[in-house]
Chains A and B, each alone.
Chain A
């Protein structure tokens, strides 16, 4: 089976890149193919890169509190490209925001302190489309 391809991304102005780099290495060590597009991306550039690179899943790392604004925009930008690539959001995501993010089309959320296995499993599950099937 081909390796799962994941695009990890930072959208907006949030420069905290410790988490995204740690997660990128965790996923790489777990056998996934990881693409990182760097800081200060917009929902449009992330969606375009994800579609161009034909990834199986997008992982957004968000620590500045802008996830409620930007994560749904990434989902919309991906869907606007007629793509159903699932979007997983991780970082400082308070529990009370999770339901709204899932309703906005985010496949799964990973909160602060999520252990490595949970991060890897959540990304793999999302890549296989299992969150979507549950949601439908």
Chain B
């Protein structure tokens, strides 16, 4: 590391001194002053390639992580109220959860949507819902993350249409689109179009945002769902970064120079309960990404090499039994994310093994982050575990295991990570590995080797469970269907047909970027389902071969 950098500490010092710092005393509770980072003079420092110790020189001394709480349920009006509550409680980023029909590009009045409207997130059918969702919120002044994949281009188009009708130009919009379709086929399983056609839409959103939305993160490459689906930590790391490399190759194929879009990529990892393994995973992720971007993809901009990530505590680690214990699990997982240098964090609520969170449970989850941020002083020192023999060895081991998996993907793609990822999906390779790992974990639990407090040990108190849980009634579903009916009656039908016609024409030509047609269709109140069906008419639909 010191080969290209004769004096790491001096370089770091210079970068640190150029950083703006938060106005708090950086000392222990007892008044011992703390350095911004600890290490030997010739070692790696934060903000230095390959960024094992963090993407920035000053890390949390300049800015704490964003406390980004995921919310969304019922109608857009309900979610809007929850958003405002989050902002009032001190959250500084919004994160939108969409309901299942929206995630699969179906309207609320689709027969397949029965029982699912507004249940796991907010239902968005048209621009009218997008307006309700962000009513009274200045989109130019807050960052908005949207967890959406198959219809990501459609929802981005609606978001841009809404912001511009509220007077906020697209160039001012900051936020993140999940838009990580590869992991849908591998793990999350909310796919609509076949993989290659989906990748065309990803390319279109990447190209569009690179040209017109400089503050927008076009893909949040997500390991979270891969881990939740049952992978190991090393598989989460390798599949996620492997998908990242695939998107880089996709954008390069589309003619975008790597440094023009790579800074807009961000990552999303799980924080599971194995504390040190998670920290090692984040450190290895930064190092691997930097090396591959520089050496394999020829990036020259630092921003292209600096992996930045969002973390969510592990939903699968939560138990329905003695749900209050989930507060403790979540706190430990959140701390791993922070010690691993995350840029933003979502903490799950204690009741999420049972239902979507109540307002009280969601507030407690945010409070968990605030205790870590403001009471523990852990954010004073960057990469506080760097230099630990154990954590460094585990970081190296995570990296080595990930490299083995990359070699396999590269081989499947005959030298292309993009082809390797698509082939691996088509051949069920990723899906099979995840299912194998999930089953192995389950068997360890059943053999009693893996202990889950309140589930296979320490059961006293299980009878007392009586958390108030959030109940979503079918009234929301009926309300949303009525809302959609009303919008459809009031819109200009021939303008909708024209917009969908143009969308179909544009979809046929793979060289055309679909974003302008989608924005125009959004503006005339075409529905998510209409736009997706129009594209499916050209692209076809993906059907997964069921395997156990």
Q: Interface of A with B (CB < 8 Å)?
A: 12-18, 21-22, 24-26, 28, 34, 36-40, 42, 64-66, 68-70, 92, 94-95, 111-113, 115-117
Contacts and interface: CB of A to CB of B under 8 A. Distances in A.
A70 B546 CA distance: 21
A136 to B, nearest CB: 28
B100 A12 contact: yes
Range class of the B interface residue count: 35 or more
B452 interface: yes
Given A15-B188, A22-B439, A26-B442, A94 B355 contact: yes
A69 B188 contact: no
A70 B548 contact: no
Contact of A13 (B116, B355, B452, B543): B116
Identify the interface centre among B228, B321, B438, B465: most chain A CB within 10 Å of its CB.
B438
B442 A69 contact: no
25 contacts: A13-B104, A13-B113, A15-B188, A15-B190, A18-B434, A25-B435, A25-B548, A28-B548, A38-B545, A38-B546, A39-B546, A42-B112, A64-B119, A65-B119, A69-B114, A69-B474, A92-B353, A92-B354, A92-B355, A94-B354, A95-B465, A113-B319, A115-B456, A116-B442, A116-B446
Nearest to B547: A36
Given A22-B230, A64-B120, 4 more contacts: A13-B116, A17-B229, A25-B548, A117-B446
A113 to B, nearest CB: 4
Given A24-B548, A112-B320, A17 B355 contact: no
Contacts of B472: 65
Given A12-B112, A17-B189, A94-B354, A113 B455 contact: yes
Nearest to B448: A115
A16 B114 CA distance: 17
A30 to B, nearest CB: 11
A95 B115 CA distance: 19
Q: Say what secondary structure dominates the interface of chain B.
A: loop
Interface in B390-443: 434-435, 438-439, 442
Contacts of B354: 92, 94, 112
A120 B310 CA distance: 38
Nearest to A116: B446
Nearest to B118: A65
A14 to B, nearest CB: 7
Contacts, number: 107
Interface of B: 100-101, 103-104, 106, 112-116, 119-120, 188-190, 228-230, 316, 319-321, 353-356, 434-435, 438-439, 442, 445-446, 452, 455-456, 465, 469, 472, 474, 543-548
A65 B320 contact: no
A92 B356 CA distance: 11
A14 B101 CA distance: 9
A21 B439 contact: yes
A25 B437 CA distance: 12
Contacts of B228: 18
Nearest to A9: B546
B439 A12 contact: no
A66 B445 CA distance: 28
B192 to A, nearest CB: 10
A12 B114 CA distance: 8
B438 A18 contact: yes
B119 A36 contact: no
A92 B320 CA distance: 9
Given A12-B116, A64-B120, A37 B319 contact: no
Contacts of B101: 13
B544 A65 contact: no
B469 A94 contact: yes
Contact of B546 (A12, A26, A37, A68): A37
A39 B189 contact: yes
Nearest to A25: B439
A4 B460 CA distance: 35
Contact of B435 (A21, A38, A40, A92): A21
A95 B103 CA distance: 28
A70 B115 contact: yes
B439 A65 contact: no
